[in-house]
Amino acid sequence: MASKELLRTPAVEDYSKAIFALESRSHEPVSTNALAERLGITAGSVSAMLKKLDELGLITRVPYRGARLTADGRRLALEVVRHHRLLESFLAEALGMPWDRVHAEAEVLEHVLSDDLEQLIATKLGNPTVDPHGDPIPSADLELEERSTRSMESLQPGDRGRFVRVSDSDPEMLRYLDGCGISPGDHFSVRERQPFGGPLFVLFGEREHALGGTLAGAMRVEVDRSAPAAGAHAEEGG
């Protein structure tokens, strides 16, 4: 195994985190093309880095299917995810940065956060379990508790529950939700669903909002137990 210093390069951390996110969604090996699309780089560049990660013992290659993280690779990915989500929480709660800006800042700072500063931030914030977007924060022991959620897009009239999580990849989407006064933790009920892929009309408190397309697909919810449970699954994010 290579030294810790060699492992902890920004590129190695970014790849490990990206593989972890993609692997968590499908529980299948991560293909070169899927990784290239997520990272916004060429498949050739991905292939070269996967070879390096394999040599470092962070992944195993599955012939004709893709790559999986090893135990060491998963641990590294979870450490980076913990850094990222703690930083997002600190920037939002302690510094008052809008939730649509914290992701980009944390993407940079996650690579330079020391273990000591990580612990100070966690203690200062009261050891939070979720970040501002509702994504779970791995514990100090690098254990990650995923809750079973559904996409808002999958709901039907009469469904009700709690909005718990949203993708942080689109700042404009986050600004829109903020302008609507919608944030993780809010309770809702679905009043109407338009046919042919039309929007959902959803009540948050006394205000009704039309939610559809990409936005409804990015919003993850916990539905009341009395509501239909089809399609429940967990999904990893940022």
Nearest to 23 by CA among 71, 72, 69: 69
Residues 209 and 162 in one domain: yes
Instruction: Assign 66 to helix, strand or coil.
Output: strand
Is 39 domain-assigned?
Answer: yes
Domain-ending residue, one of 31, 51, 69: 69
Q: State pTM to two decimals.
A: 0.86
**Residue-range definition of the domain harbouring residue 132:** 78-145
* SS (HEC) of 35-52: HHHHHCCCHHHHHHHHHH
pLDDT in tens, 9-45: 999 999 999 999 999 888 899 999 999 999 999 999 9
| Statement to judge: residues 88 and 134 lie in one domain | yes
Q: Structural domain tally of the chain?
A: 3
C-alpha span between 15 and 72 (Å, rounded): 13
Predicted pLDDT of residue 226? 65
What is the pLDDT averaged over residues 89-117? 96
Percent of the chain with pLDDT over 70: 92
Same domain, 19 and 54: yes
Report whether pLDDT(8) > 90: no
181-200: pLDDT as tens digits: 999 999 999 999 998 888 99
Q: What's 22's domain CATH number?
A: 1.10.10.10
